[in-house]
């Protein structure tokens, strides 16, 4: 998992450099609120996956 995170960060870093070199708009949310929204989507997806496995057990 750590290897995937490092590769993702390195890839994002390289893409950021390329976008800056070609004076293109950044391909990511421009503010912390955008990043927080992405994290929220990820967490919501994970929680829903957990709820989906726990809920049937509760209502048996």
**Whole-model pTM?**
0.53
Cα–Cα distance for residue pair 5/12, rounded to 1 Å? 10
Q: Are 29 and 35 in contact (CB under 8 A)?
A: yes
- Residue 23: its pLDDT value, please? 92
Cα 24 from Cα 53, distance rounded (Å): 43
Convert the pLDDT of each residue in 44-53 to its tens digit: 999 988 887 7
In a 3-state reduction of DSSP, which class is residue 30?
A: coil
């Amino acid at each position: 998992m750590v290897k995937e995170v490092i590769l993702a960060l390195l890839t994002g870093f390289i893409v950021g450099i390329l976008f800056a070199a070609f004076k293109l708009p950044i391909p990511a949310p421009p503010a912390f609120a955008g990043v927080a929204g992405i994290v929220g989507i990820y967490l919501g997806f994970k929680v829903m996956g957990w709820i989906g496995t726990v809920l049937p057990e509760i209502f048996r």
